[in-house]
């Protein structure tokens, strides 16, 4: 509590340092399956009865064990945004398009980069994942480099 009438400026400081330098997470049971699939350039979800969920989970909403199942899309942009400044308020040379993308063959979706111009990107358009070359895949979500707009810019 500040004392009224006293100079509130601080002349002594007590430095503190976070002693946990980093975290190392384990992928979990479903995460291990997903990592394997990503390395193979595939995406998997979880079948719980009649419903398929993406991203995969080990357990279903009723706590029964789920079953891994391949997700093939098509992938639809549900919502998007364009990032113009990074977290340190620095202007980006090239705006980054981020989208919430859902597969039509499952409940749920994911957030990822979309390689598209601001004119191209729109809710409802179809996109598809572009994977890193097999030798560069590490079993993480970044094995998908980005999603690209389907039908346009297709070589």
Partner 1 sequence: MKPNIFVKDRVAVVGAGITLFRRRLLETPRELAWEAASMALESAGLTLRDIDCIVIGSAPDAFDGVHMKGEYLADGSGGVFKPTVRVYVGGGTGVFVPIAAWWHVASGHCDTVLAVAEEKMSPAHPHPQGVFAYIWDPILERPLGPNLIWIFALEMRRYMHKCGVKKETIAKVSVKNKRNALDHPAAQAAARITVEDVLKSEVLVWPVQRLDISPVSDGAAALVLARENVARRVTDSPVWVEGVGFTLDNTHWYNRELAYPRYVNYAARMAYKMAGIERPWKEIDVAEPYDPFDYKELHHIEGLMLARPCEAPKLLEEGWFDRSGELPTSPSGGLLGVGNPIAAAGLMKVAELFWQLRYEAGARQVKKPVHLGVAQAWGDLMQAGTVIVLGN
Residues of this chain that interact with partner 1 (CB under 8 A) are 14, 16, 18-32, 57-59, 61-63
33 or 115: CB nearest partner 1: 33
DSSP H or E segment with residue 28:
helix 28-39
Asked if residue 111 lies in contact with residue 97, where contact means CB atoms within 8 angstroms, the answer is: no
Question: Residue 21 or residue 93: which is nearer to partner 1 going by CB?
Answer: 21
Find the shortest distance in angstroms from Cβ 133 to partner 1: 28
SS3 (DSSP) at 4: coil
* Shortest distance, position 27 Cβ to partner 1, whole Å: 7
Q: Nearest approach, Cβ of 127 to partner 1 (angstroms)? A: 28
CB nearer to partner 1: pick between 63 and 90: 63
Question: Cα angle vertex 125, ends 96, 110, to 5°?
Answer: 60
Element (H, E) at 92: strand 91-103
């Amino acid at each position: 509590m500040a004392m009224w009438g006293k100079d509130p400026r601080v002349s002594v400081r007590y430095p503190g340092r976070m002693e946990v330098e980093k975290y190392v997470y384990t992928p979990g049971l479903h995460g291990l399956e997903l990592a394997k699939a990503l390395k193979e350039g595939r995406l998997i979800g979880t079948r719980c009865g009649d419903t398929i969920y993406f991203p995969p989970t080990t357990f279903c909403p009723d706590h029964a064990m789920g079953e891994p199942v391949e997700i093939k899309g098509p992938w639809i942009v549900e919502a998007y945004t364009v990032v113009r400044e990074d977290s340190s308020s620095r202007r980006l040379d090239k705006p980054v398009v981020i989208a919430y993308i859902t597969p039509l063959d499952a409940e749920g979706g994911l957030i990822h980069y979309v390689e598209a111009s601001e004119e191209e990107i729109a809710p409802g358009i179809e996109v598809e994942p572009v994977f890193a070359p097999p030798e560069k895949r590490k079993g993480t979500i970044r094995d998908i480099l980005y999603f690209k707009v389907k039908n346009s810019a297709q070589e």
